[in-house]
Structure 1
Amino acid sequence: MPKRGIQPVRREQLIRATYATIDQVGLADATVAQIAHAAGLSAGIVSHYFGDKNGLLNAAMRQILRDLKAAVARYRGRADDTPRAQLRAIVDGNFDQTQTNRTAMRVWLTFWAASMHQPELARLQRANDHRLYSNLCWQFRRVLPPERARAAARGLAAMIDGLWLRGSLAGGDFDVAQARALAYEYLDHQLGAGA
């Protein structure tokens, strides 16, 4: 009989091993056996907790989305309640180290590509896109007319994703400070134009 409380530990081990394996060999070449080996567990454990490789990938994407949500919430919790401060906090959360380290960036790129072919991953990606847009739009609407707020939110969401994507593909370290500065400049321009 398994020890009480071991399931979350094993699930976490397997999810982190999935990240590491994708980072090393990519999604296409990652096998359940490699992931289990990286976690120091048997391949049967993957089936027990996740069903199959797709179930494990789904759980891994859910975890990276939870990490993103937690990072954004952490920055927003520390920020003033002004629209500018809250918007900057959303930018900061998206460029947090949990989202911009080498492994996280490779995992995100893998999931984005896989979401074009796997309906469950596509659903998770759409939910993530909607959450970002909705949070940005809510803050912009505090100071801009609705249509302008929607356009500003679409633009900032695209800028966050674009800066992140360019940074991930550039090789080397991601210049988080530069990405934040560019996003801040865009949002300050939108807020200044609306004043």
Structure 2
Amino acid sequence: MPKVGMEPLRRKALIDATISAIGERGSLDVTMSEIAGRAGVSSALAHHYFGAKDELLQATMRHLLSELGTDLRAALHMAATAHERVLAVIAVNFSDKQFRAETIAAWLAFYVEAQKSPAMRRLLRVYARRLHSNLMSGLSKLMPRVEADHAAEGIAALIDGFYIRRALKDGTPNAVSAVAVIEDYLETKLQQHKTAS
């Protein structure tokens, strides 16, 4: 008989094992049995909690989005100005918790999978809309809407680009240099707006 209260812990263990397996493999080419072994549960139990591997992958993607959302809400709550809001969004995407080799590999694998999986594509659209909205919450107060929209698109592309570039390299991810480049882009955009005004 299953132990009461174990299901959330086992689900979390399976999601963590999925991120770890994808990170090590660099693709979604992992089996439920491999993931279950990493999580310390049987393959049958993994199937019981998630059904097919696709459902586990979607749950893992939702988990990553949820963690990112929680971290962003906390950072935005602490931001006192519009400029700080934009900097907070950038910083959270490159925090130690988010910008880890395993998580980066998982994001890249999900992007690839989204080319053929409508469910993954929907989740990535949610991510893109949230990122844009969070950036606009600060940028729209710093420059006209059209300029803010372009700046948000540029910052989002840089964030995604650094994740992709990082996934293709060995070694420890360098969040500091990524943040510096994106902040430089932001300052350039803000300066262009001031000059044009």
TM range (shorter): over 0.9
| Residues 1:48 and 1:182: Cα distance change in structure 2 (over 3 Å) | same
SS at match of 1:18: helix
1:45 partner SS: helix
User: Helix, strand or coil for the counterpart of 2:98?
Assistant: helix
- Per the TM alignment, residue 147 of structure 1 is displaced from its structure 2 partner at its CA by 1.0
Q: How many residues align?
A: 194
Measured in 1, the distance between the counterparts of 2:41 and 2:26 equals 20
Is the CA contact 2:143–2:190 (under 8 Å) kept in the aligned structure 1? yes
CA deviation after TM superposition for structure 1 residue 176, in Å = 0.8
Number of the residue aligned with 2:126: 127
1:144: which partner in 2? 143
Question: Are 1:164 and 2:148 counterparts?
Answer: no
- Whether 1:34 and 2:51 are equivalent positions in the alignment is no
Who is 1:73 aligned against?
73
- CA offsets per residue over residues 20-77 of structure 1, 9 Å max, x none? 2222334453111111111111111122111110000010111111121122223223
- Report the secondary structure of 2:115's partner residue: coil
Q: C-alpha separation between the residues in 1 aligned to 2:165 and 2:36?
A: 32
User: What corresponds to 1:189 in structure 2?
Assistant: 188
CA distance in 2, matches of 1:175, 1:120: 31
Further displaced range: 17-26 or 138-147: 17-26
Q: Structure with the greater relative contact order (CA < 8 A, sep ≥ 6): 1 or 2?
A: 2
Q: Distance in 1 between matches of 2:178 and 2:27?
A: 27
1:111 and 1:54, CA in 2 relative to 1: closer, same or farther beyond 3 A? Answer: same
Distance 1:92 1:99 in 2: 10
C-alpha separation between the residues in 1 aligned to 2:169 and 2:23? 16
Distance change >3 Å, CA 161–CA 26, structure 1 → 2: closer
Distance in 1 (CA, whole Å) between partners of 2:98 and 2:3 is 33
CA contact (8 A) 1:137 1:150 kept: yes
C-alpha contact (below 8 Å) 2:15/2:60 kept by paired residues = yes
Query: In the alignment, what sits opposite 1:105?
Result: 104
Structure 2 residue 119 is matched with structure 1 residue 117: no
8 Å CA contact 2:83, 2:142 repeated in 1: no
**Aligned residue for 1:4?**
4
RMSD: 1.5
For the Cα contact (< 8 Å) 2:158–2:182, is it kept in 1?
Answer: yes
1:45 alignment partner AA: L
Q: Would the aligned equivalents of 1:95 and 1:164 in 2 still touch at CA under 8 Å? A: no
2: CA distance, partners of 1:84 / 1:193: 15
| Secondary structure in 2 matching 1:76 | helix
Q: Label 1:78 to 1:28 Cα distance change in 2 as closer, same or farther (>3 A).
A: closer
